[in-house]
Amino acid sequence: MIKRLLLSVMATLVVLSCASQNNQTENIGDKLSTMDEVIMSRRSIRKWQDKTISRDTLDIILKHGINAPNGKGIQAYEVRVIDKPELLKELSAAVAKDKPEVARRRGFKNIFVDAPCVVFIAAYDDYDLSQVDCGLLGENIILSAWSMGIASCCLGSSARMLNTSPSAAPYMQKLDFSEGYKLLYCIALGYPDEEPEAKPRKEEKIRYVE
Ligand SMILES: Cc1cc2nc3c(=O)[nH]c(=O)nc-3n(C[C@H](O)[C@H](O)[C@H](O)COP(=O)(O)O)c2cc1C
């Protein structure tokens, strides 16, 4: 009797463990397809709806950002966020004062492609892989935002201009990056008002080595 009971308990455990393994596999599959959709549908956006991103949503996106892997665990970046379009316009006007040719570009609105929110990411001078940390942080921000319908555009040129524009210096002080940190790039964020086609990628960039 006891032997039969034990056998039946063991059989139940085997069935349960198989079922839970199958469930796990199915769940991982679900997550992968969501991730695939988020990654493959993301595009750089330069036209925005007139809609602000709530601070609660920004908090989640930024938390995802700083949970990216980072070298030696030292988080060799600093992050500042401006979600006031008026302040972004002021900052852009300061740059345009020094670089009027920028403002003459066709379709120019401001140096942040007119986004309602911009994340400023600074790299740390004293760590050789800080830019990797900054890139991983940024990609987490970009993908997290897109998973919630918020689009983005990385802006390297804006950072270059901000770092070299004397008129922008007071605003850079306001960003208040610590000693040793320098603005590396910006990420414009907002709700998208365009759906650009994907730009083709060069698959030959990837090669397996046997
Ligand atoms: C480091 C970096 C700097 C970039 N700088 C700019 C920029 O200054 N202005 C801009 O409009 N787009 C900029 N981009 C966006 C790229 O143009 C865009 O990612 C690329 O064309 C691929 O298009 P996709 O993001 O839609 O796939 C930058 C992207 C990266 C990663």
> pLDDT per position in the chain (210 positions), as tens?
445 544 554 554 444 444 444 455 567 777 777 999 999 999 999 999 999 999 999 999 999 999 999 999 999 999 999 999 999 999 999 999 999 999 999 989 999 999 999 999 999 999 999 999 999 999 999 999 999 999 999 999 999 999 999 999 999 999 999 999 999 999 999 999 999 999 999 999 999 999
In angstroms, rounded to a whole number, what is the distance separating the alpha carbons of residues 34 and 100?
44
Domain boundaries, the chain: 1-41, 55-190
pLDDT at residue number 14: 47
Contacts of 194 (CB under 8 A, 6+ apart): 45, 46, 47
Tell me which CATH code domain 55-190 carries. Answer: 3.40.109.10
Any ligand 1 atom below 6 A from CB of 199: yes
pLDDT at residue number 24: 55
Any ligand 1 atom below 6 A from CB of 153: yes
Any ligand 1 atom below 6 A from CB of 157: yes
pLDDT at residue number 3: 53
Pocket test for ligand 1, best of 95, 110, 155 (most atoms within 8 A of CB): 155
Q: Using CA positions, which residue lies closest to atom 27 of ligand 1? A: 43
Of residues 173, 185, 166, the one with CA closest to residue 94: 166
Ligand 1 center from residue 153 Cα (angstroms): 6
Q: Which atom, in ligand 1's list, is nearest to the CA of 157?
A: 8
Q: Where are the beta strands (DSSP E) in the chain?
A: 77-82, 117-124, 151-155, 181-190
Sign of CA dihedral 13, 19, 22, 24: negative
Any ligand 1 atom below 6 A from CB of 143: no
Q: Using CA positions, which residue lies closest to atom 9 of ligand 1? A: 155
pLDDT at residue number 32: 76
In angstroms, rounded to a whole number, what is the distance separating the alpha carbons of residues 75 and 97?
35
**Three-class secondary structure of residue 108 per DSSP:** coil
Using CA atoms, how far residue 69 sits from 32, 116, 132, 150, 163, in Å, is 19, 28, 9, 22, 27
In angstroms, rounded to a whole number, what is the distance separating the alpha carbons of residues 62 and 79?
9
